[in-house]
A and B are shown apart, each in its own frame.
Chain A
Amino acid sequence: MKRIWLFVLACLLSVTPAQAMDGNEFLRQLDKNLYPPSYEMYRKIIDIQPDGTKKEFTLYTVRKGLDKMVALFLAPPSDKNRSTLRLGDNMWLYIPSVGKPVRITSLQSVTGGIFNNADIMSLDYSAEYNCEDMREEGDTYVLKLKAKSNAVAYDNLVMVADRKLGLPLRIECYAASGMLIKTLYFKEIKEFGPGFHRPSVLETDSPLHKGYKSIMVFAKIQKRDFPDEVFTLNYLPSVEGLRR
């Protein structure tokens, strides 16, 4: 009987409301809910101009652990085979015509739209930010996040997250000066695998680009392990060989 009570207690603890967590703990849980520890995925970026004109980009992305990520452009042909590597705070861009990887900064935009490298190559929030404050607002938490280093693109974030789902709903990205750079909206929760539900659409707008909108659509987020050597400059021109 004692064992049964212990089991019930353990189950209750496992569904303890998130308010019992501190901000950083909640952030770590949110990261786990967004991505598996090592995975591959496909993304489509849609840039929409004020007149309704659209431009689309497709990326194949692989990631391992907290700090290793590669993104490869599959379409359109003008950008095909461009790839971006991130190792912690280091970021490189490989353009086939240039023929060698060059270091880039996280604030640059690879596509020319509102999403910049930091958005396309984003790591876990808990890896890049400390939670300085978390408060409840209805069904949501509002977290104030501060960048751990000056190598992070946005100095601070204000994140609104669903308390029950442990997923972000909206993130405002601020520069160190306090200027709002962009707002990210997480939408369309879908099932990507057994028990793995997360937003399938990320939308952004920016007061710096009024009337413009960019959308990132996620597909085929699948667990997959990769050797560390995949995440190196020398392997960057060969990333497409990982696709099956």
Chain B
Amino acid sequence: MLCLCIPAWAQDRQFEESSPDLDFEIPEAEPRKPIEINGYLETAGTAYGRDKGSLLFQQKYIGQDLDDQTYAGDLRAKIEAKAQGDAALAYVRFKAQEQRDAEGWNADGVLEEGFLAFKPTPSMTVEAGKRVMKWGKGYAWNPAAFVSRPKDPDDAEETLEGYGMVDADFIKSFDGPLQTLAFTPVVIPVSEHFNKEWGKPGSYVGAAKVYALLLDTDIDVMFLAGDEAESRAGFDFSKNLTANFEVHGEAAVVFDHEKPLLDSQGNISADRYDAWSFLAGLRYLNSYDTTFILEYYRNGLGYSQTETSEYYSFVEDALAAYQAGNKLPLMKSRRYSQAYSSQNAMEDYLYLRIVQKDPFDILYFSPALTTIANLDDGSLSLSPELLYAPVTNWEFRLKSWFFLGDDDTEYGEKQNDYRVEARIRYYF
């Protein structure tokens, strides 16, 4: 033991001499600052290749003489501020965007999150304010994310806007096969000014999640019910099978879900049923540092191929009626475009993302290829991307999206054939 107390004369000076320009000081090791402000500024240029023959393009732009290509320039900023004490936290995140496209300038800003948190002990947290609470284990989709807005599977890691809520977190750790148990209750009040998506002013939504780390497996069970919201129940899990192989899954049911339908004759109806959704996925890292993320998604809320074909058939007839001077059917079809043309509005999807880290020995360079295939109609989107961050706080991304499919398919009828975006982001 005495030998272990040998003083620093045993230091290896050779290393210090060989690295004279390295700064070994760690200024961040100083006490925490009470207020911190961070964020990013970014600029992006995007080219869109219009598919002027597609149904959805004609549905939106019929009668307009537009170019085959269009361009947009964006300036975006995300700013977050945090004031932190020992047991309390105040947090705000604001996102602003200024876009210049063929139609002119558009400015937009949104408070994504703004809440107060009280953390008297690591076992308990109470929060109130606008909050993003993401549930579920899926990378591209989360059918069990009951209290958050749907994310964009094409940019799954971007921040979202939250809902106004009061929530809490109670955590307990154990020794043995059950290592963690946590309970997260959430209350979402509805008023005239916020959370209107959830019902009439004065109504409430209640949700809860129970998390367990059991036998090295993450397991969540979640519920949601409300005065006007459709009741839901869900489950997810995630587990590492080996050091480079992870599996995950989600299941959710929306009880007595009402799905609006518009048939080929323009008749409006609603289908009521218990909508079950499933997701099964894996994440695999090979010896070449290539990451594969593969997910199958069964969207129980989505439209079948028959239902979608009926809608497309009505849009086709509506376009013909428009040419003949009757605008009403087209206006009717547009009212349903949000439901039928939103992202991944059909039933069966496959997601594959392949990311190669540092290829050709280029550090901080990550090319990736992402595809989302609609298994019902055989159409797909293909997104190659190059991400490079060679300089601290600077990130360069070139990403494109190609939409491939026949007539009357989801990706074949998109308004654009392709989209290419070059983006520069600076973090501060």
Contacts and interface: CB of A to CB of B under 8 A. Distances in A.
Interface of A: 14-15, 33, 42-44, 46-47, 49, 53-56, 58, 60, 74-78, 80-81, 87-91, 95-100, 102-109, 112-113, 150-153, 164-166, 175, 185, 187-191, 195, 197, 200-201, 203, 209-212, 215, 217, 219-220, 226-235, 238, 240-241, 243-244
B361 A191 contact: no
14 contacts: A42-B28, A53-B390, A74-B28, A89-B243, A90-B216, A100-B136, A112-B363, A166-B3, A166-B4, A189-B10, A235-B171, A238-B125, A240-B84, A241-B84
B7 to A, nearest CB: 7
A227 B180 CA distance: 12
A76 B84 contact: no
Nearest to A109: B357
A185 B240 CA distance: 30
Interface stretch (B116-124, B189-197, B341-349): B116-124
Contact of B427 (A78, A88, A166, A238): A78
Contacts of A89: 216, 240, 243
A88 B136 CA distance: 23
A98 B157 contact: yes
B392 interface: yes
B238 interface: yes
Interface string B205-234: 000000101001010000000000000000
A22 B247 CA distance: 39
Top 9 A-B pairs, shortest CB-CB distance: A228-B173, A78-B427, A42-B29, A74-B28, A100-B134, A77-B427, A229-B122, A99-B134, A58-B28
Nearest to B156: A98
Given A103-B238, A195-B5, A234 B12 contact: no
B171 A55 contact: no
Interface of B: 1-8, 10-12, 15-16, 19, 22-24, 26, 28-29, 31-32, 38, 40, 84, 86, 89, 117, 119, 121-123, 125, 132-137, 139, 148, 156-160, 169, 171-173, 179-180, 182, 184, 211, 213, 216, 218, 238-240, 242-246, 248, 283, 285, 287, 289, 291, 357-358, 361, 363-364, 366, 389-393, 395, 427-428
B169 A234 contact: yes
A189 B14 CA distance: 12
B12 A241 contact: no
Nearest to A239: B122
A187 B12 contact: yes
B32 A190 contact: no
Contacts of B171: 229, 232, 234-235
B368 to A, nearest CB: 14
A77 B38 contact: yes
B97 to A, nearest CB: 16
A27 B30 CA distance: 33
A105 B158 contact: no
Nearest to A97: B159
B351 to A, nearest CB: 15
Given A165-B3, A230-B122, A238-B117, 11 more contacts: A99-B159, A103-B239, A106-B243, A191-B7, A195-B4, A210-B361, A215-B19, A217-B24, A232-B173, A232-B180, A241-B86
Given A191-B8, A203-B15, A219 B169 contact: no
Given A103-B218, A197-B6, A112 B246 contact: no
